[in-house]
Amino acid sequence: MEASLAPATHRQYTPAIRKWQAFCAANNIADIHSGRTTDLLHFLTDLFEQGATYGTLNTARSAISLISRRDLSRDARVHRFFKGAFRLRPPRPKYQFTWDVQLVLSLLDSWWPLESIPLDRLTWRLATLLAIASGQRIQTLAAISINNIRSSDQGYEIVFPDILKTTRPGAAQPLMKLPVFPTEPRRCVPTTLRHYLSVTRRHRGQHCQLLLCTTPPYRPASRNSISRWIKRVLETAGIFNYSGQSTRHAATSAAKLKGVD
């Protein structure tokens, strides 16, 4: 049962469970696992009056429903509460507009030739190119192992045997294809990837993760580090207030404008 939740879900639910425990203690509710629907509604109302967003309320509902002996999530009154919360405080998209991919690609073009740029910029360049070319999540980029990279004359293919956010029973895992673009070497992902593998070979040791930290002892890079690198590239290109994860909608939107299905 514990394994059914991803570590990120555990981290997301923990603050909500703690607030629910404090609410139960303050309102003489002896068992946090047997709360009534009215107790849940009072708790959610308290959160709403404290300024909680629709998403925060939904997380709290999911967390409490998970540990409750009652099926609170299907209660008609809970559904009615969330309809009211939506009308009073509707959720807004994180971004109203996307950023121009060409600005970032032009910046990366200036980081050339590859032999002349330091390891940190080479790493940021590779992470950003992978994100733009694939449209994958930062989690997926962090999961790339050099043992799962297949090379050919046409480029690289990367498989992902580990569980990812999009992994479902019976569904195929992502396959990242990175073809060679000989006419655009500055924007050719395999060219940067090949050079990066060569440069980091002496730092890698036993680490199989593709992206490594840029300073000793060159440990595998975390998702937060990769996201921070991409955000730094965006800001260098003059794009602010976007996270590293924003490459997903920026890249796919740019591809659609170019006629990609």
All domains of the chain in start order, with CATH:
2-88 (1.10.150.130), 101-257 (1.10.443.10)
For the segment 167-199, what is each residue's pLDDT rounded down to a tens digit? 888 878 888 999 999 999 999 999 999 999 999
For residue 252, name the pLDDT band (cuts at 50, 70, 90). Answer: very high
Q: What is the CA radius of gyration of the chain?
A: 23
Over the chain, what is the mean pLDDT?
93
pLDDT at 166 (0 to 100): 78
CA distance 136 to 248: 6
CA distance 238 to 138: 21
For the segment 131-178, what is each residue's pLDDT rounded down to a tens digit? 999 999 999 999 999 999 999 889 999 999 888 887 888 878 888 999
Whether the per-residue pLDDT at 71 is higher than 90: the answer is no
pLDDT at 238 (0 to 100): 97
pLDDT at 157 (0 to 100): 95
Q: Write the single-letter amino acid at 164.
A: L
- Asked if 48 contacts 57 with a C-beta cutoff of 8 angstroms, the reply is yes
**Region of poorest pLDDT, from 15-19, 33-37, 204-208, 234-238:** 33-37
pLDDT at 170 (0 to 100): 81
Q: What is the DSSP string of 182-239?
A: TT-GGG-HHHHHHHHHHHHHHHHTT--BS-B-SSTT-PBPPHHHHHHHHHHHHHHTT-
- Greater model confidence, 75 or 222: 222
